[in-house]
Amino acid sequence: MTRFFKLAVAATLGLSAAAAPPLQARDAAPFFTAELSQPASESDVIAGGVVFRCEGTSCVAPRSRDRALRVCKELRRKVGNIDSFTAGGEPISDKQLARCNS
């Protein structure tokens, strides 16, 4: 009887694991994207409460609780001028980009 019980528990656990939904990647799609005027000197930069992953002149990061302009300004302070900045796939306006870089 003990052997049957162990087999039943093992089978139940195996089925439970197989039926569980797959884990989603933490950084599946970036929310913020930035194109820098100069390549970033570091690959990971914290700005706006999120970690930007930078490679060359391109940086990406997940969503933050801060507004796009604030995140852009904080990133600029750490990496230099920004040529373009998007939040949720929408580019910030030219006026906002000028404020970001000031």
> What pLDDT digit, counting tens, does each position of 1-58 carry?
566 556 555 555 554 444 444 444 454 689 999 999 999 999 999 999 999 999 999 9
Looking at the domain assignment, is residue 15 inside a domain? no
Calculate the CA dihedral of residues 58, 49, 26, 76 and round it to 10 degrees: 0
Q: What per-residue confidence (pLDDT) applies to 23?
A: 43
Looking at the domain assignment, is residue 66 inside a domain? yes
Looking at the domain assignment, is residue 96 inside a domain? yes
Looking at the domain assignment, is residue 20 inside a domain? no
Looking at the domain assignment, is residue 18 inside a domain? no
> 41: domain range?
26-100
Domains contained in the chain, number: 1
Q: What per-residue confidence (pLDDT) applies to 29?
A: 84
Looking at the domain assignment, is residue 68 inside a domain? yes
Looking at the domain assignment, is residue 16 inside a domain? no
- pLDDT at residue 89 is higher than 70: yes
Name the strands in the sheet holding 44-47, side by side, starting at the edge strand that comes first in the sequence. Answer: 44-47, 50-55, 58-61, 32-36, 82-87, 90-91
User: Binning pLDDT at 50, 70 and 90, where does residue 93 land?
Assistant: very high
Q: What per-residue confidence (pLDDT) applies to 5?
A: 53
> What pLDDT digit, counting tens, does each position of 55-79 carry?
999 999 999 889 999 999 999 999 9
Q: What per-residue confidence (pLDDT) applies to 96?
A: 97
pTM for the predicted model, two decimal places: 0.71
Looking at the domain assignment, is residue 9 inside a domain? no
Q: What per-residue confidence (pLDDT) applies to 78?
A: 95
